[in-house]
Structures are given as C-alpha cells and as structure tokens.
Amino acid sequence: MPVFKFKARDALGKPITGEMEAENEQGVANTLAEKGLYVITVEAKPDRKLVERITGIPTEPRIRSFEMVALLRQLSTMVRAGIPILSAFDLMLERASSHRLRAILQDIRDSLAGGSSLSQAFGAKRRNFSPLMVSAVEVGEATGNIETVLTRLAAYKEMEHNLRASIRSAMAYPTVIFLVAIGVATFLVVSVLPKFEAVYSRVGVVLPLPTRILLAISHFLQNYWYFLIAAVAAVIVALILFKRSTTGSRFFDRLWLKVPIISTFTYKSAVLRFVRAMELMVRTGVDIILALDIAAGTVGNSVIERAIRGAKENIRDGASLSESLVLADVFEPIVVQMVKVGEETGTVDELLSLLASDCEQELNRLVQNLPKIIEPIMLVFIAFIVFIIALSLFLPIFNLITTLKKI
C-alpha cells in the first residue's frame, strides 16, 4: 500500500504533519477528517523500495549501534516518566546527534502523528529495527509494559554493540601489521629491486628463478598497476554480489564454520545472539514458535538459522523447546540441558540469561586471546615475505661470488 505525507490542522489550529498508508489521497483525507483534522495537503511519498530495487542501494539511512542503544534507553526513560510517545520523539529530535538519526526519528514521529503505533512505525524502518524489536514492542504495547520492553531491547542492542566493538578492537592490531607488511613488501619490490637489477645486468650475473619471478612481478606493478587495481576491484565486487546471493551466503556461512579460529567466533557469536534473543522474547511474552522464528533471524549465519527454523516445525508437531533444539543438531549439550531444566522448573528466561552471561564471558576470553593467537601467524607470514625478497635480492650475489672463486 502506498505511503502519503500530509499536513493538517486540529480544531485549535495547531499544525500537524505525518505519514499514512492508504489506497489514495482521498483515503488519507477521509481518515484525517474522521479524526477531526482539517487537511491542508496530501502528497505521495517516493517509493524507497522501488528505488532500492532499481539501484540496489539502500535509501533508508542506517543509524549507528550506539545511537540505537541511546535511542531505546532515552525512550524507555521518558515513557517511564509518563511522557507521551509523540512528545518523547519531539524531545529526542531536538537532541539528535546526527543527520541520519534525525531523519529516522522524524519519519517515526510522522508515522506516530499519522495514527500508527510504535511497533508499526518501527516496522516501517526494517533496515534499523529488526523483526525481533518490532515483535517485542508490539507485545509490550498489548500488555502495557512498553517501558520494560524498551529497556530490555536497549540491553540487547548494547550486547550486540559491545560484541562487534570487541572483535573490531581485537582485529585492529593484526590488520595494521598485515597492511604494513604488504606495503613494505610492495615498496621493496617496486623501488628497491629494480636498482639491484641494473647492477646485476652491468655485471652480467645470470639471475636465478626466484629473482626472475620477483622482477617480473616488479615490472608488472610498475607498468600495469591499473590492471591490478581493476582486477582487485572486480574481484571484490564479484565477491560482494556472490555473498548477497542465497548460494553465496550459504557458501560463506559454511566456510566460516569450518575455518579454524573464525569458526569458534562465528559459532559462539551465533549462540550468544540466539540465547539473548530467546531470553528477550520469552520475558516479553512472545509465542514460543514466533520467538524461535525471530531468534533464528538474529544469529547471523544461514546454516545455523536454517537448523533453528527446522526446529520450529518440531514444536508445531508437539515437541518441547529443548527437544526441538536437540533435533536442530547445532547447539552444544549445555545449551539444551539448561533449556530443559528451565522448562521443568518454569524458569526458562532466567536460565537463558545465565547461559547468555556464560557465552559473553567465553567470547570475551576468546577476544582477549585473539591477538596472542594471530601474532605468531603474522610473524611467520612477515618472515616468509622477508625471506623471499632477501633470497631474490642476494642469491645472484652469492652466485657471482661462487663464480669468481672458481676463476
């Protein structure tokens, strides 16, 4: 259904703007008139989804994770203080720290002014508000417990933000070392090696195979560097497009579950997201089948996601949550056992919270140890590059000395 932007006035003459879904402009005007508003203008809003389908570029701005955490915490605080939702968004708009955040807040505020609920307004911004968030807010609205739901959502998004930040922080040092090693190697091959080549040619030294290979690479980088840049760009674009396809997504997700070190992070992160999402859904009161379906979409790995969605069908057939997780065959025994005990004692949410805390601590230990694991690998990689370049530079000199000794 198309979306229309409108301007109207209430009985006191106060201007009101917003957005509304309707069949046509007349439908918007009729709805506003029923609410006692005087319509000023109604115009169709550009179809962002159509633009995205044509260009492939998302048109909805994406706010940063720490901004989302702050948004949810501020909204929860203001709702708890008794401030109406619409007024809360007006206050947050005044203090918005970025243009992207301000644009999202304005769109949500307009939707609320047009008669939409908070869950509907969030649902219209799928790039920023996941199905988990929309469903949780919808249940909170139905039960009158919206401030508690918003607080729990803020805690969940903060967990996601901290997880990403810790992994990025752990990978920063190895990434810098890798880039520096590549840069130094490129400098030696492009700038230093050609000078040695001139010396060797004057002396008439027969160049060994490693030196000839490295010189060929040097000549290529000097004369055809633009082809290399184009090839690298083409490969990156091809990989991105392949990753976005269903086949490519499954291929990479399977790969990440098999590569040493990466597989541990991928699996532990998926389990943590799933357990935290299930805890949130259970505490909020979402139906267990819907909760499982929503939590499956948060794990970030299509292989694990498909297994969890398969477990959902087992629940429909009468299996318990713990039994369905066993049949999914992707979770460690401790996860299944904790859920089973929770079902027997009626404390599934509490045990999921304990399990999530254990997962977070384990992931934090892995992140802290990651540099210790990667540093030896990087040292071996750098030593190998240095050895190859040094061998190519000095092997001809050794050959020349050997030849002169024979004379």
As a whole number of angstroms, the distance between CA 214 and CA 84 comes to 69
pLDDT classification of 57: cutoffs 50, 70, 90 = very low
| Mean pLDDT to the nearest integer, 180-203 | 83
- Percentage of the chain with pLDDT > 70? 94
> Which residues have C-beta within 8 Å of that of residue 240, sequence separation ≥ 6?
none
pLDDT at 238: 93
Lowest mean pLDDT among 30-39, 274-283, 356-365: 30-39
pLDDT at 54: 45
Lowest mean pLDDT among 118-127, 296-305, 321-330, 396-405: 396-405
Lowest mean pLDDT among 10-24, 140-154, 174-188, 318-332: 10-24
Lowest mean pLDDT among 2-6, 185-189, 391-395: 2-6
Lowest mean pLDDT among 10-19, 30-39, 274-283, 302-311: 10-19
Both tokens of 74, joined, read 């501020």
> Which residues have C-beta within 8 Å of that of residue 36, sequence separation ≥ 6?
10, 11
pLDDT at 47: 57
| CB-based contact 79:150 (threshold 8 Å) | yes
pLDDT at 110: 85
Average pLDDT, rounded, for the chain: 83
Judge whether residue 11 has pLDDT over 90: no
pLDDT classification of 48: cutoffs 50, 70, 90 = low
User: What digits encode the pLDDT tens for the residues 119-137?
Assistant: 888 888 888 888 888 888 8
Lowest mean pLDDT among 12-26, 87-101, 379-393: 12-26
pLDDT classification of 62: cutoffs 50, 70, 90 = confident
| Mean pLDDT to the nearest integer, 315-319 | 83
pLDDT at 51: 46
| Mean pLDDT to the nearest integer, 250-278 | 87
| Mean pLDDT to the nearest integer, 385-396 | 83
pLDDT at 46: 63
| CB-based contact 256:167 (threshold 8 Å) | no
pLDDT classification of 278: cutoffs 50, 70, 90 = confident
